[in-house]
């Protein structure tokens, strides 16, 4: 770690690999010998074509996607996807199943309802404060799709395995765990992820869509809100968020070439999560809030004995070079987001600080 950088446990926007930031910095005034910044070159230039094509190719390789899938870059974050999904895939007469596992699932459900679409919430963990992932769900076999949120950033839960929905495709918000582990893509009709957690900076949403779903889309959907527009033009119908796509490309390159792919990444992420949960489970001062079988490998939510100690913990951690540990304002407590770019060393430093803080504050 450079002396002036901190360990960054922010929930998103979040840590990026330092080597990625250094490469951006080095080339910011002259991209690939063009004499222009990446922020100044045309999105129709060969240089940018190489960037976006490489980002698409790396996504396909990392996730083992075959030609059934399109890789798209869309602005507006996962929140815009919440409205685009029912707009594109729920024409009159069709219905979809949604599972409610917390804030982001709930928002996705609300956007479908706002459009007067027919949906059914087939499972919810709301009654237990979203502290677990539902099991044994009875999905409707005639649903157009099943919508899931793979990782719940705020509540600290994650689907360890995805349910069997038979022939019904899963559409999954993977904003906070995309590219953190290998995937069996055969279950999915669409995956999407706001980039600002594991994949890049804020300002672009990675959308992976099975091509046959594109045939469902009504002609009446506005041009910028239909997936076919992006699929037909390699995400270049209009000017894309060039800097964000470029940063995503570099993060994917780091994942492939430095980390060595998603199997390796998942192993590192397991080690990080195990270290943190294992430490907390070994004592009573820190208490992980999610049920053990539903714990997130990305967002570790926890409480201290009281709110006053939590406030001191967050402040003193920052003073010790450990940032972003405050829980989401809607739930309080503490949270360590340990996305791909957060190193094992950072988690070790956090656990070291947690031990010191506990010792200083236990009676």
Chain positions contacting a second copy, by CB under 8 A: 2, 4-6, 8, 10-16, 18, 21-22, 24-25, 28-30, 33-37, 39-44, 75-80, 82-83, 87, 107, 110-111, 114-116, 194, 196, 201-204, 220, 222-225, 237-244, 247, 321, 323-324, 329
Q: How far is the CB of 191 from a second copy (least distance, A)?
A: 18
- Find where tokens 């582990």 sit: 181
Q: Which of 323, 269, 281, 276 is nearest to 300 (CA)?
A: 276
Q: Angle formed by the axes of helices 77-89 and 103-114, to 10°?
A: 40
Q: How far is the CB of 202 from a second copy (least distance, A)?
A: 5
Q: Judged by CB, which is closer to a second copy: 225, or 266?
A: 225
Residues 328-357: b if buried by 16+ CB within 10 A, e if exposed: beebebbbbbbbbbbbeebbebbbebbeeb
- Find where tokens 């000017």 sit: 239
Q: How far is the CB of 199 from a second copy (least distance, A)?
A: 12
- Helix, strand or coil, per DSSP, at residue 173: strand
Residue 137 token pair: 């769900």
Alpha-carbon span 153 to 177, nearest angstrom: 9
**CA-to-CA dists, residue 134 to 13, 100, 325, angstroms:** 28, 9, 27
Q: Judged by CB, which is closer to a second copy: 280, or 300?
A: 300
Alpha-carbon span 323 to 249, nearest angstrom: 26
Q: How far is the CB of 251 from a second copy (least distance, A)?
A: 11
Cis peptide before 255 (omega within 30 of 0): no
Alpha-carbon span 312 to 358, nearest angstrom: 11
- Catalytic residue check, 173: yes
Residue 242 token pair: 């060039």
Residue 32 token pair: 């690939």
Residue tagged active-site, from 155, 173, 187, 254? 173
Q: Judged by CB, which is closer to a second copy: 69, or 246?
A: 246
Alpha-carbon span 118 to 336, nearest angstrom: 37
Q: Judged by CB, which is closer to a second copy: 224, or 309?
A: 224
Q: How far is the CB of 180 from a second copy (least distance, A)?
A: 17
Q: How far is the CB of 194 from a second copy (least distance, A)?
A: 6
Q: In what order do the strands lie in the sheet with 118-124?
A: 69-74, 205-210, 188-194, 170-173, 146-149, 95-100, 118-124
Q: Judged by CB, which is closer to a second copy: 100, or 111?
A: 111
Q: Judged by CB, which is closer to a second copy: 93, or 116?
A: 116
Residue tagged active-site, from 97, 100, 104, 254? 104
- Catalytic residue check, 254: no
Active site residues: 104, 173, 197
């Amino acid at each position: 770690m450079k002396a002036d950088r901190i360990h960054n446990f922010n929930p998103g926007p979040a840590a990026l690999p330092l080597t990625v930031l250094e490469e951006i910095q080095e080339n910011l005034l002259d991209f690939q010998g063009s004499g222009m910044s990446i922020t100044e070159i045309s999105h129709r230039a060969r240089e940018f074509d190489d960037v976006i094509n490489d980002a698409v190719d790396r996504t396909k390789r990392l996730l083992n996607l075959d030609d059934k899938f399109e890789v798209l870059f869309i602005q507006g974050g996962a929140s815009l996807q919440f409205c685009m999904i029912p707009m594109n895939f729920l024409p009159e007469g069709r219905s979809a199943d949604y599972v409610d596992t917390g804030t982001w699932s709930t928002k996705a459900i609300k956007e479908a309802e706002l459009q007067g679409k027919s949906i059914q919430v087939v499972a919810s963990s709301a009654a237990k404060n979203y502290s677990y992932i539902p099991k044994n769900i009875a999905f409707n076999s005639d649903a157009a799709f099943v919508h899931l949120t793979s990782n719940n950033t705020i509540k600290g839960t994650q689907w360890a395995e995805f349910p069997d929905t038979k022939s019904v495709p899963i559409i999954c918000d993977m904003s906070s765990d995309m590219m953190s582990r290998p995937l069996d893509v055969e279950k999915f009709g669409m995956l999407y992820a706001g980039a600002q957690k594991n994949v890049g900076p804020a300002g672009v949403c990675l959308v992976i869509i099975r091509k046959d779903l594109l045939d469902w889309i009504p002609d009446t959907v506005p041009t910028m809100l239909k997936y076919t527009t992006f699929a037909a033009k390699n995400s270049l119908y209009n000017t894309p968020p060039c800097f964000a796509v470029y940063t995503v490309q570099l993060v994917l390159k780091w994942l492939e070439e430095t980390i060595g792919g998603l199997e390796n990444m998942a192993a590192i992420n397991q080690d990080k999560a195990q270290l943190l949960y294992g430490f907390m489970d070994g004592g009573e001062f820190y208490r992980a809030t999610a049920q053990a079988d539903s714990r997130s490998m990305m967002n570790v939510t926890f409480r201290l004995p009281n709110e006053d100690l939590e406030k001191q913990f967050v402040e003193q951690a920052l003073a010790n070079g450990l940032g972003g540990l405050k829980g989401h304002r809607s739930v309080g407590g503490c949270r360590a987001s340990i996305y791909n770019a957060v190193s094992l060393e950072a988690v070790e430093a956090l656990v070291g600080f947690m031990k010191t803080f506990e010792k200083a504050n236990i009676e």
